Structure formats: structure tokens, C-alpha cells
Amino acid sequence: MRILSTHRAHALLCFVLLAAGTWPASAADADLSALPSMRERVLIMEEIWRARVETILPRVMREQKIDLWIVRSDEGELFFNDESPVFMSLLQANDEGMAIPSRHAPSGSQRLPRFLAFHDTGDEIEYTEPKDYEEIAELVQKLDPERIAIADFANDPLMKALGAKYGQRTVSSWELGVRWLETATPDQIRTYIQVQRVANALIAEGFSNAVVTPGVTTTADLNWWFRHRMLELQLEHENHPTIGVQRKPENIEKYDDPPEAFVHGRSGNDVSVTIQPGDVISCDTDVMLFGLVTDSHQHAYVLEEGETEVPTALQEALLTVNRVQDLLAEEFQQDRTGIEIVAVAEPRMAAVADVVETEAAFHPPPTYIRRFLRGGFFFPTKPWVAGMTSGPGYYPTSIVTNERPLHYDTLYAFEPHTSVAVPGWGERGVELGIGQITSYTRDGFRYLERAQPIKFHVIK
């Protein structure tokens, strides 16, 4: 049978109407109170999932020349959180995110499939759910596939079922699984733009006088405001927000916060200080929506007495950081590995005038799929990250590495960290790394609703 029916007009219409009618044209126009309902959000998530299965699954199977892909439910030990993102991301569900039980389970049982099998007929991908290893053997005998992808992990029972003939036709499914997880559809990328707008609007609200009162509000206050505001909006998030302050040396001596709270002029997330005039406030936060996770680093400036706008030197520093980002973006070229991108980008970035230090940092954004048992139990507990990154690895998983090449239709949390020399701000300057979601397609590199291209958030 086909993995999915192609008659999805109602769900697709819901998706299109919500994407076009509910969403703002930009973060500045965003009304966070107008977010889709939870029910609508799950419909959109499931629609994205269906589109991925119908388009990406055949694409990556044919790219890897795989005729049959056998996925086991017990592959979780391959991954850092003992949940298999490949199995979970291929598990069928209804429009409420409730996983469809195994067809071999007794009536009324919630038991999930043990095996998922995907066969490329040349025209479509056929999905079957083998009951056991004996049924897998029968399926393989019937289909006679040339290349069979299986997990290279605890697979002795499967190899025994395949026998010598078909055992010789197996290849590791690792690369296929990562390609499946990292590849995005055009609709998924367009939806990510809207999710980034929500994140930008949330940060703009937090970085305003409606929330921050200089001399009163602490970084802990602002941190918890973000968490509570997300709760009000029914927005999930992956990480505890990071809120820090950068302060000029003369102001560290001027205000009451202990000097030891600042390391090289910067406070850490584990230390609460009072936000004061002249401070640069920095945040690192995310929202989770439709299975998509943002990773946003942005900055605000608190005007000092007599100031009506951000000092020119700081504005120029922000423009410098954006130039550095664009240099890194230029090095995103098909088939380059993360190691190669960093190697060619960092010397160019460091050569920009007034740059004190810089790091070419990026990684795939976390994604997740909401799945419940029919009894209501929510069982995937952790977003996964899969694909190419700038660093030696993304702790502590091995499905993302800087040794992977860059592929089209992939997404990145793009967050180069750059410090710029600014008069009066000490030897380390001001760190103004800007984080946002980006995509890489055949049309090239793209910022998805670029954050802070020309100006700070301003607090008076």
C-alpha cells in the first residue's frame, strides 16, 4: 500500500490558509496573540510531515540507491537520548499526532510497530509493517531488492532472517537516515520564516520598556519573563533562555553589582545583575512551533542619560558583525564540509577591520515530531539535530558532524560569534553574535527573516 493517500485537500487548505492569512508579513507586524490554536498547529505539523514523506523519502532513497529500507523500533541505542529520531520521524499518526498502533497488535492495543519497511517500486514508495523477522524474510524474498538499508547496530537477528543472499545486499542506513532528517521541503522552509518572525517579535517585546525598567529589572527577571511569556502564548521551548549584560569598565565601577559578576565586561547566565543605562543586553533563546525550533541571539542597548539613540560606535559595530556574517554565508557551497567552510571563512572574517575575535559557528536547528500513544502518553521527549555543523560535533549526538558535506535544502542555526573593538569597552570589545535560522537551497544561502541587520533594540 502507499504510505499516504494523496487526497489531502482539506489539511492542505488549512495549512495554506493559516500560513497566508494568520501570519504577519514581518516581525514588526506580528501580533503574538493571533498565533494558531494548538489544534491548528498540530494539523500544520502533520501536513509538513506528510509532505516530507511524499517528497523527501523517495528523493533520499533514490539518491542513496536504496530499494528497501527496514527501520527497527529498537535502534534508539544508536542515538544519544535512547530514542531513535529516524523511527519516530517515520512513524505514522493521525491528525492529532496519535501514533497509529501496529496492525499486528490486538484490538484496542496501543502497541507500536516493531518494524517499518519502505520499498521503492520506481513509481512510489510502498510502506509495509512486517510483523516479525520471519515476515521480513518473506517480504525480501518477494521483492528481491538489490540494495537493502538497515541499521548497523545489533542486527544479528535481522541478518539471520535475510540469509546469506540478501545479507550481502545490505548497506548501513546511517547516511540515509541523516539525509532524511536533514532535508527540508519548500513548505517547511517557508513555515520556518513564520516561526522565526514569532521568535523575533517575542524578543522585540522583551527588549522594550514595556518589560525592562533600567535600574530595576534584573537579568533573572527578564529571563523568567521570556519563559512566562512563552507559557502565556502556549509556545514551547527547548532551552532555558540565556540573558546577559555587557557593560563598559567605567560603568562596572559605577553601579552596585559586584565586579566579579562580570568576566571581561560580560555577565553570565548563572549570575543575575541589574540592567542599567549604558548596558548592552544579549539574549540566546528559542521557540518550538510546528516541530521547528529557532535559535535566536539578539541585542538591545539601554540609552544613557542625554542619549536619544544608540552611540554611533556601537551601531557601526553591529554593521561590522553583519558584514562578518555575510562573509561566512558566502562560503556555504555545495559539497563543502563544515570543516572546509570554517577553514576558508574564519580568516576572511577575522580580517575585517575592528574585529577582535570571531568564530564561524552554525549547526542544524533542532526539530521534533509530536507523537502520542492513543492513551495520551507523549513519548518523544527530545528534539533531534541532524546534519552538518561547524564544530567537531554537536554534544552528545553523532548524527551531526563537521565532517559532513553541505547539501541543498538544508537548514541551519547560523550564529557566528564576533567581538568588535569599540572605544571605551575594554580590550575584548563588544560581543554581538547574531543568531537566526537560515536555509541553503539551489537558490543559494538565505537568512529566514534576518534579525538585526541594521539596528539594536532600544530601551530608554
pLDDT above 70 covers a percentage of the chain that reads: 90
For 248-286, the pLDDT digits (tens) are 999 999 998 998 999 999 998 889 999 999 999 999 999
Are residue 287 and residue 377 in the same domain, yes or no?
yes
Confidence (pLDDT) at 378? 78
Within-domain flag for 318: yes
| Domain presence at residue 128 | yes
203 has pLDDT over 80: yes
Give a yes or no: residue 51 inside a domain: yes
Are 103 and 88 within one domain?
yes
When divided into structural domains, the chain yields a total of 2
Q: What is the pLDDT of residues 149-201, one digit of tens each?
A: 999 888 999 999 999 999 999 999 999 999 999 999 999 999 999 999 999 99
CA distance 162 to 140: 7
Cell of 63: 539518491
Whichever domain contains 454, its CATH number is 3.90.230.10
Looking at the structure, tell me whether residues 165 and 263 fall in a common domain.
no
pLDDT tens digits, 327-361: 999 999 999 999 999 999 999 999 999 999 999 99
Both 410 and 451 in one domain: the answer is yes
Tell me whether residue 3 is in a domain.
Answer: no
Point out the domain boundary residue: 123, 147, 180. Answer: 180
Clarify whether residues 266 and 379 are in a common domain: yes
Residues 444 and 385 placed together within one structural domain of the fold: yes
Give tens-digit pLDDT for 138-149. Answer: 999 999 999 999
- 377-389 pLDDT, tens digit per residue, is 877 767 889 999 9
Per-residue confidence (pLDDT) for residue 154, from 0 to 100: 87
CB 243 within 8 A of CB 207: no
* Of 26-40, 47-61, 340-354, minimum mean pLDDT range: 26-40
Tell me, yes or no, whether 318 and 249 share the same domain: yes
- Cβ-contact 388, 401 below 8 angstroms: yes
The mean pLDDT of 295-302, rounded to a whole number, is: 97
Q: What is the pLDDT of residue 395?
A: 61
Rounded to an integer, what distance in angstroms lies between the CA atom of residue 77 and that of residue 13? Answer: 39
- Examine the domain organization and report whether 70 and 169 are in the same domain: yes
Residue 403 domain-assigned (yes or no): yes
pLDDT mean across residues, the chain: 90
pLDDT at residue 319 is higher than 90:
yes
Predicted confidence (pLDDT) at residue 81 exceeds the cutoff of 80: no
Domain's final residue, options 180, 210, 232? 180
CB under 8 A, 24+ apart: contacts of 218-222? 218/272, 218/273, 218/274, 218/275, 219/243, 219/244, 219/245, 219/267, 219/271, 219/272, 219/273, 219/275, 219/281, 220/272, 221/272, 222/275, 222/281, 222/283
Report the 3 state secondary structure along the chain.
CECCCCCCHHHHHHHHHHHHHHCCCCHHHCCHHHCCCHHHHHHHHHHHHHHHHHHHHHHHHHHCCCCEEEEECCHHHHCCCCCCHHHHHHCCECCCCEECCCCCCCCCCCCCCCEEEEEECCCCEEEECCCCHHHHHHHHHHHCCCCEEECCCCCHHHHHHHHHHHHCCEEECHHHHHHHHHCCCHHHHHHHHHHHHHHHHHHHHHCCCCCCCCCCCEHHHHHHHHHHHHHHCCCECCCCCEEEEECCHHHHHHCCCCHHHEECCEECCCCCCECCCCCEEEEEECCEECCEECCEEEEEEECCCCCCCCCHHHHHHHHHHHHHHHHHHHCCCCCCEHHHHHHHHHHHHHCCCCEEEEECCEECCCECCCCECCCCCECCCCCECCEECCCCCECCECCEECCCECCCCEEEEECCEEEECCCCCCCCCEECCCEEEEEEECCEEEECCCCCCCCCEEEC
Please give the pLDDT value at position 160: 96
Domain that holds residue 305: 184-459
95 in the same domain as 31: yes
Asked if residue 27 has pLDDT above 70, the reply is no
314 & 407 share domain: yes
Residue 4 lies in a domain: no
What average pLDDT score do residues 46-66 get? 96
18 and 166 share one domain: yes
Among 180, 206, 228, identify where a domain stops. Answer: 180
Same domain, 341 and 397: yes
pLDDT confidence of 80, banded at 50, 70, 90?
low
